[in-house]
Amino acid sequence: MQYKETFWMACDSTEQLRAEYGPFHTRDEAEAEARKLGFRYLLRYEHLLDENEEIQEVRCIFIELPGRVVSDPTPNSLHTRCATCGECATHDQPWQAEVWADIHEFEHSRHRVRLFEHARGRGLKEIGGWRAS
């Protein structure tokens, strides 16, 4: 006999690189938090468990929230990540990202830092060639 376990998450997009917040036991809890955060989607996870409570199957279902979601006025954030070692940081200003990258690449020769912009509802987007100019 299989048992189904369901939990809810608030998320900002349907992309693979998305922000998720939760888990919540009910859809109402997840929806309230999604609206507070300015997220446009809910994500319902369903785990199908066997008689030993081992996960046999995982289902993910995205639900777009109806109406306009009130988002807070936070601007897009910048994220730096070293492509070599994976160390990362979050920045409010472009100059902070550049300073972090300079220090990291100075302290670790042959490391390369990449820059990403995170916009709510759209996920992460890499900014290519940002160190060339």
118 forms beta bridges with: 77, 124
pLDDT, one tens digit for every residue, the chain (133 residues): 678 899 999 998 888 878 889 899 999 999 999 888 888 899 999 998 888 888 888 899 999 998 755 555 556 788 999 999 989 888 888 888 889 999 999 999 899 999 988 876 677 788 888 876 5
Specify the pLDDT at position 60.
92
Residue 96 structure tokens = 């902070």
Specify the pLDDT at position 16.
80
Residue 126 structure tokens = 């890499």
Q: Report the helix count and the strand count for the chain, using DSSP H and E.
A: 2, 8
Looking at residue 14, what DSSP letter applies? Answer: S
Looking at residue 83, what DSSP letter applies? Answer: T
- How far apart, in Å, are the Cα atoms of 28 and each of 13, 15, 33, 52, 101? 19, 23, 9, 30, 42
The secondary element (H helix, E strand) that includes residue 37 is: helix 27-37
Specify the pLDDT at position 74.
55
Decide: pTM greater than 0.85. no
